[in-house]
Structure 1
Amino acid sequence: MAFGLKREELNQWKSNVKSGEISFLTHYWQDKRFPGCYTVTKVGCSDLDKLIEWGKVYQLQSNWIHLDKDFPHFDLFGEKQKEILFKENQLEQLEKFSL
């Protein structure tokens, strides 16, 4: 279940992903499979080769990519989420979600 997300933020992320950009979208999230994780960051790009190469920098395996229709993406949470957001200078998302 996702929440804490504005439609305009989602639409901007979708637009960026479709245009082949590496794009970040963080929102609140609950999943019983991941206790203690309350946010997730979706890192998407429609250019799969570009997304795979980006993921390699952070030791993310290509089989972890969610191949959702037009919006392929990695889901990041926990310490890896914080590490990557910091290294990618996504400070606004770190601050907004108190990560």
Structure 2
Amino acid sequence: MAFGLKREELKSWKKQVESGEIAFLTHYWLDSRFPGCTTVTKVGCKNLAKLVHWGEQYHLDPKWIHHDDNYPHFDLFGDRQKEILTKEGVWDQINKFNL
């Protein structure tokens, strides 16, 4: 279940993904399969080759890309989420969600 996300944030992320940019979207999230994780960051890009290449630098397996919608993306959570957001300099989302 996702929450803590504004419609405009989602629209902006979708627009960036559609234009072939690497885009980050963090929101609150609860899933019993991942106890202790309360947020997820979706890192998307419509250009699959670019998304795969981006993920390689963080050892993200291309098999982990979600293709279930028109917005291909990796899901990041836990320690890896904070590590990658920090390296990418996505401070607004780190600060907003106290990661």
TM exceeding 0.5: yes
For 1:58 and 1:91, how far apart are their aligned partners in 2?
18
Say how many residue pairs are matched. 99
Unaligned 5+ runs, structure 2: none
Alignment match, 1:52 = 52
Percent of paired sites with the same residue: 66
SS in 2 for 1:17: helix
Alignment match, 1:95 = 95
SS in 2 for 1:35: coil
Alignment match, 2:30 = 30
Runs of 4+ in 1 over 3 A off after TM superposition: none
TM-score (norm 2): 0.99
Amino acid at match of 1:10: L
Q: Following superposition of structure 1 onto structure 2, how do residues 1-99 of structure 1 map, counting pairs within 5 Å?
A: 1-99=1-99
Unaligned 5+ runs, structure 1: none
CA deviation after TM superposition for structure 1 residue 67, in Å: 0.5
CA deviation after TM superposition for structure 1 residue 70, in Å: 1.3
TM-score (norm 1): 0.99
CA deviation after TM superposition for structure 1 residue 69, in Å: 2.6
CA deviation after TM superposition for structure 1 residue 74, in Å: 0.1
